[in-house]
């Protein structure tokens, strides 16, 4: 699922594949997100990257969307598909949003 023209990139989804997230359906969430991107034909503007632990194990499975800075927790394969659908519409995924770091004041 390589994206070669980054000029069109609107969303970069970081999919936690750390130990706790993997025990909480991390692989299934990753595949569901990628399958939905293909289904929505959104590969030209949504890119995914698997990461190691993002340090929010209590919120596993964690998915992060940049450049928006949205951190989502307790993700499931179904909510992963819903996230892609929401991004395609320019929306956020209500109910799973942990925080938005773009709106968090720096210390």
Q: Where are the domains of the chain?
A: 18-100
- The third-level CATH classification (topology) of the domain covering 18-100 is Glutaredoxin (3.40.30)
Q: For residue range 26-73, list pLDDT tens digits in order.
A: 999 999 999 999 999 999 899 999 999 999 999 989 999 999 999 999
HSE (CB half, 13 Å, CA atoms) of 66?
6
**3-state SS assignment for residue 58:** helix
The percent helix, strand, coil of the chain (3-state, each to 5) is 40, 20, 40
DSSP 18: S
Q: What global pTM score does this model have?
A: 0.89
| Cβ count within 10 A of residue 98 | 16
């Amino acid at each position: 699922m390589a994206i070669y023209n980054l000029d069109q990139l609107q969303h970069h989804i970081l999919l936690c594949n750390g130990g706790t997230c993997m025990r909480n359906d991390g692989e299934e969430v990753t595949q569901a997100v990628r399958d939905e991107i293909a289904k929505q034909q959104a590969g030209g503007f949504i890119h995914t990257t698997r990461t190691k632990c993002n340090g929010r194990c209590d919120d596993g499975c964690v998915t992060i969307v940049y450049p928006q800075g949205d951190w989502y927790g307790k993700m499931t394969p179904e909510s992963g598909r819903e996230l892609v659908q929401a991004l395609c519409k320019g929306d956020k995924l209500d109910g799973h949003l942990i925080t938005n770091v773009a709106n968090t004041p720096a210390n």
